[in-house]
Amino acid sequence: MICNAYEEDIKHKEDQLAIQYLPAVKAMAYRLKERLPSSIDFMDLSAIGTEELIKLARRYDESLNDSFWGYAKKRVYGAMLDYLRSLDILSRASRKLVKAIDYAIEEYRLLHDEEPNDEELAKILDESVEKVREARIASSIYTVMPLQDQLQVGDEGAALAQIEKEELIDVIKNVLSNYNEREQLIIQLYYFEELTLKEISEVLSITESRISQIHKSVIQKIKESIGA
């Protein structure tokens, strides 16, 4: 009886610990959702994060980690990214079409100084609007993933597997050194400060399409640098 009461008390404390940080999880889900297409539901991200938070609270050992949120933050965010990976978006949008869209956008921008909409891209590529929209959603989801994930999309994964993490970091630094300070700041704000394209646009007075263009250019040059 005493043992059961003790176990209930421990469980209550663990659940209270999780409840304390629920607002932080919801804020994290909201920030991530801001960077994703409308097809991704905020409630799904929040639920995944909350589930992971509860699991972490129930196995948290304060003697090993003096800050619960410091211990849980990366794991909760990682669970949300794992959920996005589980959507298996690349099986619904061919890699070839994603690349063709990126190329068509660049060509269109050179001629018209703006980005084409889905209908215009469908006409250029002789594809259905639905397929184009699906491929662009897949591409936009992957832009919130860590660089390591983005570099493993498609056939490039094999090339990436051949280099060490330290070497990859050097490659990224070398690629970024060829961009001006403002363009480097864009990558910094997007990946490390986790600002949305809209927020970066407002801070630096650069269009969202230009920010997206720089981002894709950096990813492509890193792939080329590792021989992908």
CATH number of the domain located at residue range(s) 144-228 in this protein: 1.20.140.160
Q: What is the pTM of this model?
A: 0.67
CATH 3.30.420.240 for the 2-87 domain, yes or no? no
Q: Where are the domains of the chain?
A: 2-87, 89-142, 144-228
pLDDT of residue 209: 79
Q: Which residues contact 142 (CB under 8 A, 6 or more apart)?
A: 89, 149, 150, 153
pLDDT of residue 151: 65
Q: Which residues contact 116 (CB under 8 A, 6 or more apart)?
A: 104, 105, 108, 124
48-81 pLDDT, tens digit each: 999 999 999 888 887 777 788 888 999 999 999 9
Q: Are 208 and 197 in contact (CB under 8 A)?
A: yes
Question: Which of 90-99, 134-143, 210-219 shows the lowest mean pLDDT across its residues?
Answer: 90-99
Asked if domains 2-87 and 144-228 share a fold, the reply is no
